[in-house]
Structure 1
Amino acid sequence: MSANSADTPGMLEVVLVKAGHTKIRYPAELLDDDGSRVTVRAPWAGDGVRDFGFVRFEQGDVFTEYYWRDRWYAVKEVRDAEGVLKGWYCDITRPATVSGGELVVEDLDLDLWRSADGKAVLRLDEDEFAESGLAATDPRAATAAENALDELERLAREGDFEALLA
């Protein structure tokens, strides 16, 4: 963890773990923590541009990220450098933990994208999830992950998505 974010009030280090290894870590501004949901804001933390075909994440993009201690997903609102909404990228994760200046989530491979206009709702990485073997090693977690993806997709398609983040 960088000393800057850990020692600065209102900052957290976001740590995304996948298959027992840290996938990425980055400092984020703590916007709110109501005991259940933690909201942070951070610039795009990836290297260079990441083009998914349906959206590009690039330098200047700003992510407002919502994590829950009691839900199996994280929702990231993505805006470009001018503040124009690109959409929401959702990670299916184990519930978040916050301790010692770190917000830690375990990525379970499944993802969902909802475009800003709501016309594109895409389930992502279902093949990676199947290959992860989670259904065999932790069937309870696999079921929770699949249910979380279904819930997010329903909310995204029914237009209740923004209410989730209010």
Structure 2
Amino acid sequence: MQILLEGPQEFVGKDGRRYILREFRASDLNAVVSINRRVLPENYPEWFFMEHHLSFPKAFIVAEMNGELVGYMMNRVEYGWSYINKGRAARKGHVVSIGVLPQARRIGIATNMMLRGMNAMRAFYEAEEVFLEVRVSNTPAISLYKKLGFEIAGRIPRYYSDGEDAYIMARSLENL
């Protein structure tokens, strides 16, 4: 199935449940903040989510199941040194935060949000590559990112507030 760049798109999960991916709306703020607080140890204030929505609206994706938000992916695009082509500057998509509620995991939501978000960063904001930080202990996420073509590009010691290291993972958006 082709991932749409705009508008709502319905998917059938691996277990047969249906869900919709669409762009974040301001009215989604409380639900997205709630998901962030429930599933991730790194929490952001409301203004941070709204800043990303206002700056990169096409790349802020939410997942909805039975009328309830069950996941989100917040992205931005930056300019700086490439993780892919060392020694050269690039427009880089940055997956700032992605979360899916436990009852909606393992059916393809995170994979499809990642694909839509990466495509949006490339198509609307001219990103050449994409990167993210992930806890070195987060094996399920690392596995997902590798499946999507990401490679470990570096390690940041004590990146998280609890002292855990992060991997920087990156991939080109050229052949998405």
Per chain length, whose mean CA-contact separation is higher, i.e. which structure has more relative contact order (CA < 8 Å, sep 6+)? 2
Is the strand fraction higher in 1 or 2?
1
**When the two structures are superposed, what TM-score results if normalisation uses the length of structure 1?**
0.33
